[in-house]
């Protein structure tokens, strides 16, 4: 009998350690507090921002919650404090912005541009069971111009893991500094002007843009959206969530 040994150095083109570009994707750190009430933009659980667009009254309470899928400790929970109907280009999102210098290994703007995979866990309350929301990934170049891809996902009352992979952008590089170079936006509410067909290739637009079929999270004060295990990694493979202290 022979012995076969192998040294695994990467998964899906990404390193084994520090695979996750998202900081605090497990929602374990919340230094500003554990409850946040806002109608516009403010930072909530560390590195995550409650953001609105075009003056939308995104009237919600965001908390660090202990409801989680197996293997996790904390989640982000958000619920409406009043009902609102978005019009025009109104938007209500939860997002994280990543410094451009931290995503240069994607090699965007070159013929070697790598695919990128986003994965996360989410669930709803019974009142918004089967709501459709959207994920938008946005990059910014050295002049601050934005390009995006997006995809819809449907929540249920049970925790689910969602994974989405997008090909790299061979045409335009991501800014290489400590400015906002890459955004992950979870769209919970959107006016009709910013609801578009899903985009799988990087499309020029600086707007928040979600996907046809978007539900209105703000239609019932009993609605809830839970989020944890957010991971952004190089390559076409969604690996298990990288827990880091």
pLDDT(5) > 80: no
- Spatial strand order of the sheet with 60-65 comes to 35-38, 60-65, 75-80, 225-234, 116-124, 160-166
Residue 96 bridge partners (DSSP): 184
pLDDT the model gives residue 11? 58
Average pLDDT over residues 200-221: 98
55-70 tens-digit pLDDT: 999 999 999 999 999 9
The residue among 13, 232, 21 whose CA lies nearest residue 113 is: 13
Record the tokens describing residue 102, joined without a space. Answer: 């931290």
DSSP state of 87: -
Record the tokens describing residue 191, joined without a space. Answer: 């006016």
pLDDT(215) > 80: yes
Average pLDDT over residues 163-175: 98
7-38 tens-digit pLDDT: 455 555 555 778 999 999 999 999 999 999 99
The residue among 225, 203, 193, 148 whose CA lies nearest residue 56 is: 193
Using the structure block, give the residue that is written with the tokens 């009043």. Answer: 82
pLDDT the model gives residue 244? 86
pLDDT the model gives residue 4? 55
161 neighbors 241 (Cβ within 8 angstroms):
no
73-129 tens-digit pLDDT: 999 999 999 999 999 999 999 999 999 999 999 999 999 999 999 999 999 999 999
Cα–Cα distance for residue pair 157/22, rounded to 1 Å:
25
Please give the mean pLDDT across all residues of the chain: 95
71 pLDDT band (50/70/90 cuts)?
Answer: very high
DSSP state of 9: -
pLDDT the model gives residue 17? 79
245 pLDDT band (50/70/90 cuts)?
Answer: confident
pTM: 0.93
pLDDT the model gives residue 18? 87
């Amino acid at each position: 009998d022979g012995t076969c040994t192998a040294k695994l150095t990467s998964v899906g083109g990404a390193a084994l350690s520090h695979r996750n570009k998202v900081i605090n994707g497990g929602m374990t750190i919340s230094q500003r507090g554990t409850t946040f009430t806002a109608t516009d933009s403010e930072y909530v659980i560390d590195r995550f921002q409650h953001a609105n667009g075009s003056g939308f009254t995104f009237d919600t309470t965001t908390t660090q919650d202990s409801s989680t899928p197996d293997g996790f400790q904390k989640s982000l929970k958000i619920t409406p404090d009043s009902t609102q109907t978005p019009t025009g280009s109104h938007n209500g999102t939860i997002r994280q912005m990543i410094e451009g210098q931290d995503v240069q290994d994607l090699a965007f703007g070159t013929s070697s541009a790598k695919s990128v995979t986003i994965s996360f866990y989410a669930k709803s309350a019974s009142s918004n069971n089967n709501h459709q929301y959207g994920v938008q990934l946005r990059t910014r170049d050295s002049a601050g111009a934005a390009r995006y891809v997006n995809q819809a996902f449907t929540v249920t009352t049970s925790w689910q893991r969602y994974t989405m992979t997008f090909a790299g952008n061979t045409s335009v590089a991501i800014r290489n500094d400590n400015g906002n170079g890459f955004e992950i936006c979870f769209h919970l509410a959107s006016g009709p002007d910013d609801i578009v067909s899903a985009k799988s290739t990087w499309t020029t637009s600086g707007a928040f843009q979600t996907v046809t079929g978007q539900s209105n999270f703000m239609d019932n004060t009993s609605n809830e959206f839970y989020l944890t295990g957010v991971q952004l990694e190089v390559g076409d493979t969604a690996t298990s969530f990288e827990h880091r202290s």
